[in-house]
Amino acid sequence: MEIFIGSDHRGVALKQEIIKSLEEDGFKVYDTKLTNNEMDDYPDFAFEVGENVIKNKNALGILICGNGIGISIAANKVKGIRCARVLTEDDAFKSKNHNGANVIAIGAEMTLRKAMEIINVFISTKSTSEERHLKRIHKIIKYEEGQYNEL
C-alpha cells in the first residue's frame, strides 16, 4: 500500500517520525515534494497529497497541520478526496469504514504513539460494504460531480 504524507511547518517533526515508523512496518511512504519553512501554507501540502492519492488507486493520505482542521478543509477541495480530521482510533475507523475517507488529518501536537494508534486503525480498516454507508458515500460523489438532484 502506498501512503502519501504531508505537513505544514508545524507538523514536520511528527511527520518525520510517522514516516520512519510506517517504513519500519513495511509501508511505501511518499513525502510531499514541497519544502517546509515558516512561511509555508497548509493548502499546498493538502492539494499535493490529495492529488497523489487520487492518481494512485488504493493509496491513502495523512496530513498534519497545527490542529488538523485547516489542512482537512483544503484536502476536501480536491475532487475525489474525503478527508477527515481525526482525534481518536474510533474517528479513524468510522471515517474510513462509514464515510469512505481516503485521507486523514491530525494535529501537530499529537504524540507519536497516539498518531500511530490512529494511523494503524485507519490503514487496517476495511472500506464499508454496508448499503447504508455506501448510499451516503455515493450521494457525496454525485454531488461532487454535479449530478446530485435529490434536494
Domains and CATH numbers, the chain: 2-144 (3.40.1400.10)
CB atoms within 10 A of CB 38: 7
Q: Please give the pLDDT value at position 96.
A: 97
Q: Please give the pLDDT value at position 109.
A: 96
Q: Please give the pLDDT value at position 149.
A: 87
Closest CA to 124 of 22, 43, 45: 22
Mean pLDDT by 10 residues, the chain (151 residues): 97 98 98 94 98 97 98 98 98 97 98 98 94 95 92 81
Kindly report the pTM of this predicted structure. Answer: 0.95
Q: Please give the pLDDT value at position 88.
A: 98
The residues assigned a catalytic role are 65, 98
DSSP string, 108-141: TTS-HHHHHHHHHHHHHPPPP--HHHHHHHHHHH
Q: Please give the pLDDT value at position 77.
A: 98
Greatest alpha-carbon pair distance for the chain in Å reads: 48
